[in-house]
Amino acid sequence: MSLKKSGKACTSQIAAIGLVLLASFSMSCSSKEPATASARKSDGVPVSVAVVGQKDVPSEIQVIGNVEAYATILVRARVTGQLTRVHFREGDYVKKGDLLFSLDPRPFEAQLNQAEANTARDEAQLSLAQANLNRDLAQQRYNQEQNERFVRLFQDGIISKDQAEQTRTSADTISHVIIADQAAVRSAEASVGAGRAAVANAKVQLSYTTISSPIDGRTGNLAMKEGNLVNANTTDLVTINQVKPIYVTFSVPEANLLAIKRYMAQGKLPVEASPQEGSAAKETGYLSFVDNTVDATTGTIKLKGTFTNDANLLWPGQFVRVALRLTTHSNALVVPNQAVQAGQEGVYVYVVKPDRSVEARAVITGSRVDEDIVIQSGLQPGETVVTEGHLRLAPGMRVQPRDEKGAILKEKKKES
């Protein structure tokens, strides 16, 4: 009897303990469920957001271009001589007409003096020939008159036939002398003309001993130093690049050619050139040249922009980022670049609804403008899109919107 009583007592104690544990477990579960539900209702995934904005967006073609000098002049000497002086320093800016080099002028001065002396001699010979011609012309007139007188005397029987023929022969002789005098005058005139041409050529050769800049530009490396002998038309002295204005050459795909021609018909197209990506320093010019042939190997067409280059940002041979602006779209929708995501069905953005749930919405994007991207369709102005935190999102999830500084944005209360 004692064993049976003790066994029943143990059984009742175990049952009581089980009931207590079951009650405590059910109480704990019932107390946790409301807390979890409320947490899910109030919490959300923290994300950064931005508002869909509007602004004027330029339609541009962005490529890499190369800077070219507006004009490049290779300076050479036109005469052979010794380089006596350089009138500039390497890298100086020079103006058109500025003196650059001087060669030894003495040999050319001597040639000029000799040519002038020869011309003076020829002019003297010309004067002598003209004097002889004038003298013989006077003698011809005298002989002609005497011949006519002797003919009348012969006809009157006063003089003999022989005397009359002598006077006629003298008149004929002086006529031939005059012809020779006239030839001598023409020869002297030709000699004087040749002498004057020699003087002019000597002056030109002497002028070549001073070399001036043919353009405004910047000088490069000096190839010859003072004291060296330079040869005519073969020795390079310096290269001058005209950098104000200046060209930027670039190529665009041939698919853009029709749009470029269409907008060019409306006026000059602006071109921006930036030496460094993201740099605020830019030069603005205009499209000045479209090549007449599409490069069949690359499918591109060559263009040129002309820039004033007042700030000297552009340098010949430099690679720059070029933006050819075709037109400007007013009030275009823009969002930050990082808001747009790529999926299997295309690009999309997460739109935050008023109840802070998110919706994946397909969009069609346009061109990029700095840190923003144009949205052609799929969004409305003022809507909120997620910019950071996409990996933890799924359609329908609630979010905690944060601004750029990380502060949680308060939920707007609905108007009653």
Distant-in-sequence, close-in-space partners of 102: CB < 8 Å, separation ≥ 6: 83, 84, 85, 87, 209, 210, 211
pLDDT for 160 equals 72
Quote the pLDDT of residue 43: 64
Q: Residue 329's pLDDT is what? A: 81
Res 145: pLDDT: 73
Query: What is the three-class DSSP state of 34?
Result: helix
pTM, two decimal places: 0.64
CA–CA gap between residue 375 and residue 363 (Å, rounded): 7
> What pLDDT, on a 0 to 100 scale, did the predictor assign at position 35?
35
- Helices 161-207 and 106-155 pack at an angle, to 10 degrees, of 170
Q: Which candidate, 118, 130, 129, 126, places its Cα nearest to that of 195?
A: 118
Taking the chain (416 residues) in runs of 10, the rounded mean pLDDT of each run is 43 46 42 39 78 86 94 95 95 95 96 95 92 84 72 70 72 80 90 94 96 95 94 94 96 93 92 80 93 94 95 93 89 90 90 90 85 89 90 89 64 46
- In angstroms, the Cα distances linking 414 to 45, 46, 52, 183, 355 are 22, 22, 21, 120, 10
